[in-house]
Structure 1
Amino acid sequence: MLDAGVLLAFIPLAIAVIVSPGPDSIYTLTRSVSDGRSAGVMAALGSSAGSIVHTTGAVLGLSAVLQTSAVAFTVVKFVGAAYLVYLGIQTFRKPDEFEISPESTSYTPTESFQSALLINVLNPKVAVFFLAFLPQFVQPGSSVTLQIFTFGVLFASLGFVYQAVLAVFSARARHVISERDLVQTLLRTASGSVLIGFGLKLALEERTAP
């Protein structure tokens, strides 16, 4: 059983991290505006599923490997960065896939889930974050593994709630802007630029010494 004081310390910090703009929230926003509420909510679910993967990795020690192995970290970092850049370039290359109208879709909910999951899982900084962040709240006297996993699930759940709300509200906006070509172009340019920017930032980010 988690101590109430620990939860009161964990939840505000977790929310502060979750609401900070990042690849996950940007992708959820992109999919919900472009493809509707279902695609956006599934993207949010994919991001949360990725958090569970990282939590499991932290429990099993995989995150520790990424933190101590320069080769492993670099490989995963560049794969994740390349995928983000690819998504951004595709946004520019295929404007029809970002057409915003109530009837048009370019990503199915399943595809949105899969892409969001990959964006999250292929970001090694998230893995290292989970390794560094979750153990801060572990209390002596009970299973460390259970506590870390519980905190990870709670973090993922909070993240899903935030991104799902973001998806619902941004999906409503697509009906308002569906007839405004300039707004669609600006959104597509902003989304593609941000995805590429996050990818380049991830690729250029130096590994922190353990």
Structure 2
Amino acid sequence: MIEMDLYITFVLATILLILMPGPIVTITVANSLAYGTRHGLRTVVGTSCATTVLLIVGGFGMASAFALLAQWFESLRWFGAAYLVFLGIQQWRAKPIVLGEEGASAWSKKGIFWQGFVISITNPKTILFYAAFFPQFMDPARDPGPQLFVLSVTFLFIATFLDSCYAVLCGRLRPFLADARRGRLRNRITGGLLMGTGLALALARKT
């Protein structure tokens, strides 16, 4: 299996990565503030499912699979950035909703999961992280399968847990933005976060 010191280092590095603001954190925070904790957690389910897909792809040939995905960095970057900006504009222009989980529109309720999924699976930083970072914690002298499985499950657990914490925390802050005037401010905040992150992603560089 994996040496304990390498595993602990991997856990710490993963925690730092997840806590850093990025597209996944942004969409989770935005949906939690806009629609409440439940929809924030639904976003996390979407991002976690996308992460699982990427990890499975990596498990069936990390080097070749991620090398191929990395070649699509520019396309993925622009698609993800455009989608974030699109969501941000929608949220910025949205009519303030009444406080409560039921405040989300029918489209929003159905689309929350897919928002998280699309943002996560088109995040090129995540793809490059898997391709470059996971091998640093794997012993080449040992069977890579069990090592990759342990690292993948650990990463998925930490990501889901910390993203869920973001959702719960921001959901609890939502009542402070409950009235119509503050609801408009809430839309501006969440819309601005989404658009800002989309623009930042558009300016990202493959390093």
Tell me the TM-score range normalised by the shorter chain: 0.7 to 0.9
1:12 matched to which residue of 2? Answer: 12
CA separation in 2, counterparts of 1:203 and 1:172?
A: 31
2:125 matched to which residue of 1? Answer: 125
Deviation at 1:100, TM superposition (A): 4.9
Q: Which has the higher contact order (CA 8 A, sep 6+)?
A: 2
2:44 matched to which residue of 1? Answer: 44
What is the identity, as a one-letter code, of the residue corresponding to 1:206?
A: R
In the alignment, is the contact (CA less than 8 A) between 1:58 and 1:64 conserved in 2? no
In the alignment, is the contact (CA less than 8 A) between 1:58 and 1:127 conserved in 2? no
Matched, 1:32 2:32: yes
1:7-47 Cα offsets, whole Å, 9 max, x none, are 21111111011111111112111212222222111111222
Deviation at 1:104, TM superposition (A): 1.3
Deviation at 1:205, TM superposition (A): 2.3
CA separation in 1, counterparts of 2:186 and 2:193?
A: 10
Question: 3-state DSSP class of the match of 1:199?
Answer: helix
1:190/1:174 CA distance change after superposition, 3 Å:
closer
Moved more, 78-87 or 199-208: 199-208
Deviation at 1:4, TM superposition (A): 2.2
What is the identity, as a one-letter code, of the residue corresponding to 1:133?
A: F
CA separation in 2, counterparts of 1:100 and 1:9?
A: 45
1:101 matched to which residue of 2? Answer: 99
Q: TM-score, normalised by structure 1?
A: 0.85
In the alignment, is the contact (CA less than 8 A) between 2:82 and 2:198 conserved in 1? yes
Which structure 1 residue ranges, 5 or more long, are not aligned? none
Matched, 1:3 2:3: yes
In the alignment, is the contact (CA less than 8 A) between 2:34 and 2:186 conserved in 1? no
1:61-87 Cα offsets, whole Å, 9 max, x none, are 3221233x3xx2222221111111111
Deviation at 1:180, TM superposition (A): 5.9
Query: Would you identify which runs of 4 or more consecutive aligned residues in structure 1 move more than 6 Å?
Result: none
In the alignment, is the contact (CA less than 8 A) between 2:85 and 2:194 conserved in 1? yes
2:67 matched to which residue of 1? Answer: 64
2:200 matched to which residue of 1? Answer: 201
What is the identity, as a one-letter code, of the residue corresponding to 2:13?
A: L
What is the identity, as a one-letter code, of the residue corresponding to 1:195?
A: L
How many residue pairs match? The answer is 201
2:77 matched to which residue of 1? Answer: 77
1:92 matched to which residue of 2? Answer: 92
Matched, 1:146 2:149: no
Q: TM-score, normalised by structure 2?
A: 0.86
